Structure 1
Amino acid sequence: MSGSEAVAKPGITVLASKISKEYVDEITKKVEALKSIRPEGPLLVGFLANGDPAAEMYASWTKKTSESMGFRYELRRVDEKDFLEEAIIEANRDDAVDGIMVYYPIFGNAQDQYLQQVVAREKDVEGLNHVYYQNMYHNIRYLDNEKQLKSILPCTPLAIVKILEYLKIYNTLLPEGNRLYGKKVVIVNRSEIVGRPLAALLANDGAIVFSVDVNNVQKFTRGESLKFIKHHVEDLGPYSEDLLKQCCADADVIITGVPSPKYKFPTEYVRDGTVCINFSSEKNFDDSIKTKASLYVPMTGKVTISMLLRNMLRLIENAEKVKAKN
């Protein structure tokens, strides 16, 4: 590498496949250990009812990845959206099914939120059930008072947390729960599936998070000196380029998730050395980001699938503990 190239690209690109490797190894060993109760491997069922090419691709990745680790994966296509609820209920009742996931958006409105609650909590590998969400927002990590049954976190926000841990953004010298203290994070996405829960998770871990969408900018924080147990939200006003630029001026991390091929995050807003992560299926940063970011993660899909399968193993573990108790 010449001196000029070294100056032009001071940071490095980190691939999701590299980050996910340690989880792949851990998950594969756990599936092997389940042979006595799941001899053919745990069964994950995915429901596809939207004909979205990105969802098709994600389903294909999920099948390939899960089968490589010893799981069984079954994609169930539902041509008539209105029959999806019945199909999910049928899978809820089927003892052979260990985990259920649905490829959203389907209706693109409150009906999708309703369907998220139709999936049985005990089989919800995506962590979208209201009990899991309530626990996450309130910084509660268990489902029971005895702290035997671990709560599930939404798999894409959880994947981004694991990526930040891998990149050493979390300070392991600090107590667990405070390890993002002093860090500033910008998230360009406030969807109920990823952006908002991610902002809450990172703020609950001690970060100051600026949550950006087309309407406004919100600040998620546990208050000065982390005085609150869980995050609080402050509205900073309507979205504007100036406000976004201001939020990014001293950001340690910028995370994007805009599902549009036309959107590109302005590289000039990124200060030198910022960590940049994109979880959208579209490329939210152009190649110039490599001249500014210290660490750049262009996609998160493989880590997300690992977290989904990890969630599924946790659900099986919880189910076995409940069975033993009864």
Structure 2
Amino acid sequence: MSNPKPVFAGRTILSSTISKSYTQEIAEKSELVRTNVKPNGKKPYLVGFLANDDPAAEAYATWTQKTCEDMGFEYSLRRVPNKDFLEEKIIEANNDNDIDGIMIYFPVFGDAQDQYLKQVIKMEKDVEGLNHTYYQNMYHNIRYLDEEKKLKSIVPCTPLAIIKILEFLKVYNSLLPLGNRLYGKKAIIINRSEIVGRPLAALMANDGCTVYSVDVHNIQKFTRGEGLKFSKHQVEDLGANTPELLKELSLDADIVITGVPVDNYKFPTESLKEGAVCINFSFHKNFSDDVKSKASLYVPSTGKVTICMLLRNMLRLIENNYHKEAKPQVGEQ
């Protein structure tokens, strides 16, 4: 009589566990920034604007406040019941020198107007990295805002958080040079939003990964461009998103990342490659309870790591502004 095949059970890794690897570093950096960089000696100050009744946004705001309080940041949640006044409130915050960072809990209008609101936030206070300059730099793999390489560009915080999660899980091969550490890996991302899915695909492709980006209508393939090490990624349209094509690509993917913003979506466990790494960044649970029967590592949410990256971005903005103000202007030398 043959022995039964052992039941495999992968590990669940919580975002709270991963975020602990960054909290001390960020708290220490916050204190250094407060004492050495900020002219008034006050704590770094973040303002979040909430103009919707989305439970995911409300939860994100609660996590942000708690994390700020735990790590030595000042935080204020400003609720805007009438979303038509949100732009005016953002401009007021732009002009308030005591405020170091501004964020909006999306969606607000749920359409192109949300894209406009992202650009209303002053670039120097955009902790989420949604300004068009930051996006352009990210897509073209440009790491700095200046030729002297003193002002670091900001990376959108949720895609950055997922990259940091992959690094924590040792999916990135640290023995390979920067820009190649996902070489040989294949990933599938079930989301192509402009806030997370598309930029994440670009970041991973720029690090050497073959990424299949999935939305409701079609599937695109992201790969790193030929030539220079930091060349722009390339995108190929693979056609309509059919169950057959999606399953074929999924069964070959080392990494599966989901971000479907509806409660009834579940990624089919039978479409997972044995030993795949699975990460969900949706507020809703996109994987079934049996995901660990196939996945080696499963991260059910990313929120706490995202907030860490958001605060990390704010400290970088404060330092950038300090360096810009310290740099002699034309005629002052």
Looking at structure 1, the residues matched to 255 and 22 of structure 2 have their Cα atoms a distance apart, in angstroms, of 23
The aligned runs of 1:187-206 (5 Å cut-off) are 187-206=189-208
2: CA distance between counterparts of 1:46 and 1:15?
Answer: 25
Q: Write the distance in 1 (CA, Å) between the matches of 2:230 and 2:26.
A: 35
2:24 maps to what in 1?
25
Name which of 230, 242, 252 aligns with 2:232: 230
Aligned partner of 1:315 in structure 2 is 317
Over 3 Å counting, the alpha-carbon distance change for 1:199 and 1:115 in structure 2 is same
Q: Quote how far apart the aligned CAs of 1:223 are.
A: 4.7
Aligned to 1:135: 137
For residues 33 and 228 of structure 2, what CA distance do their matches in structure 1 show? 41
SS for the counterpart of 2:76 is strand
Give the whole-Å Cα distance in 2 for the aligned partners of 1:159 and 1:47: 21
Shift of 1:296: 0.5
Aligned to 1:7, the other structure's residue is in SS state coil
Is residue 13 of structure 1 aligned with residue 20 of structure 2? no
Match 1:121 to one of 115, 120, 123: 123
Can you give the 5+ residue segments of structure 1 that lack an aligned partner in the other structure? Answer: none
Cα distance per residue 1:213-257 (max 9 Å; x no partner): 110000000157988812010000011111111111211100000
Counterpart of 2:141, as a letter, is N
Secondary structure at 1:35 match in 2 = helix
- What displacement does 1:25 show? 0.6
Q: Is the 8 A contact 1:206 1:226 kept in 2?
A: no
The aligned amino acid for 1:292 is K
Q: Which amino acid aligns with 2:110?
A: G
Per mean C-alpha deviation after superposition, the further-off stretch among 223-232 and 178-187 is: 223-232
Q: Provide, for residues 113-159 of structure 1, a one-character-per-residue CA deviation record: whole Å limited to 9, x for no partner.
A: 00000000000000000000000000100000111100000000000
The corresponding residue for 2:82 is: 80
Under a length normalisation based on structure 2, what TM-score does the superposition of the two structures give?
Answer: 0.94
Name the residue aligned to 2:296: 294
Match of 2:241 among 239, 242, 257: 239
**Deviation digits for residues 51-74 of structure 1 (CA, Å, limit 9, x no counterpart):** 111111110110000111000000
**Paired residues for 1:40-189 under 5 Å:** 40-189=42-191
For 1:18 and 1:188, locate their aligned partners in 2 and report how far apart those are by CA, in whole Å.
Answer: 24
3-state SS of paired residue (1:44): strand
Distance (whole Å) between structure 2 residues aligned to residue 246 and residue 223 of structure 1: 24
- On the 8 A contact 2:179/2:230 being kept in 1, the answer is no
SS at match of 2:316: helix
In the alignment of these two chains, the number of paired residues is 323
* Whole-angstrom CA distance in 1 between matches of 2:220 and 2:227: 19
Partners in 2 of 1:55 and 1:312 — Cα distance?
A: 20
Question: Which of 240, 253, 256 does residue 255 from structure 2 map onto?
Answer: 253
* CA deviation profile, 1:75-97 (whole Å, cap 9, x unmatched): 00111111000000000000000
Distance 1:100 1:277, change over 3 A: same
Deviations 1:251-309 (A, max 9, x none): 11000000111000000000110000000000000111011100100000000000000
**Percent of aligned pairs with the same amino acid:** 68
Q: Distance in 1 between matches of 2:213 and 2:6?
A: 32
| Divergent runs of 4+, >2 A | 6-10, 34-40, 223-228
User: Equivalent residue of 1:74, what SS?
Assistant: strand
CA contact (8 A) 2:191 2:259 kept: yes
Q: Give me the whole-angstrom Cα distance separating, in 1, the residues matched to 2:243 and 2:14.
A: 29
CA distance in 2, matches of 1:231, 1:40: 41
The alignment partner of 2:34 has SS state of: coil
